[in-house]
């Protein structure tokens, strides 16, 4: 059954490519479109070794990804700015490549300690974004991890 669904999805993506003149890679475009919209949930910032938020920080987030490649991240109970603890909004640009979502804020954003996140879970039900210094070439005991668990609103 899964194989049939995968083949059907691929055929729809290829078939839809004929409607978009000038697009070289319709599968990537279709994948990007799947992320467009408003997602709400929580972000957890912990050490990379923690499997849960026991020693970290958990806060609500709203992530809006628009079709033009812009994003806005709104936090609650966690400052987005290093200089203004009352500021709760980050914005910038986003790009998807395969299972990676890259968020490029216009200015430094405390709620986004990384630019590159691994995409987990399946669309349209939910989205998990995960990043950690544990995956970098130099792993230290003071590593950090951020995981966002989001649902489409």
pLDDT single digits (tens) 16-31: 444 433 333 322 334 5
Give the pLDDT of residue 117.
Answer: 94
- Residue 21 CA to residue 35 CA, distance in Å, equals 22
**Tokens 């968020």 found at:** 103
Residue among 43, 65, 46, 48 at smallest CA distance from 56: 46
Per-residue tokens: 98: 């395969």
**Angle at Cα 58 formed by Cα 110 and Cα 72, nearest 5°?**
45
Give the pLDDT of residue 51.
Answer: 58
Question: Residue 113 burial by CB count (10 A; 0-12/13-18/19+): exposed, middle or buried?
Answer: middle
Residues in the chain with pLDDT values less than 70: 1-32, 48-55, 122-124, 135-142
Give the pLDDT of residue 44.
Answer: 92
Per-residue tokens: 14: 């290829």
Give the pLDDT of residue 136.
Answer: 58
For residue 142, the tally of other CB atoms under 10 A from its CB is 8
Per-residue tokens: 19: 């409607």
**pTM score, two decimals?**
0.73
């Amino acid at each position: 059954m899964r194989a049939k669904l995968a083949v059907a999805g691929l055929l729809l993506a290829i078939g839809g490519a004929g409607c978009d003149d000038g697009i070289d890679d319709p599968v990537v475009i279709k994948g990007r479109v799947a992320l467009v919209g408003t997602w709400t949930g929580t972000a957890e910032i912990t050490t990379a070794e923690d499997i849960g938020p026991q020693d970290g920080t958990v806060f609500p987030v709203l992530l809006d990804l628009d079709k033009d490649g812009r994003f806005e991240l709104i936090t609650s109970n966690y400052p987005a700015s290093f200089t203004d603890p009352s500021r709760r909004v980050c914005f910038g640009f986003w790009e998807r490549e395969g299972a990676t979502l890259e968020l490029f804020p216009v200015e430094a954003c405390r709620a986004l300690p990384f630019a590159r996140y691994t995409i987990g879970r399946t669309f349209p039900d939910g989205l998990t974004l995960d990043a950690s210094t544990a995956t970098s070439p130099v792993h230290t005991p003071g590593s950090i991890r951020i995981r966002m668990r989001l649902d489409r609103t």
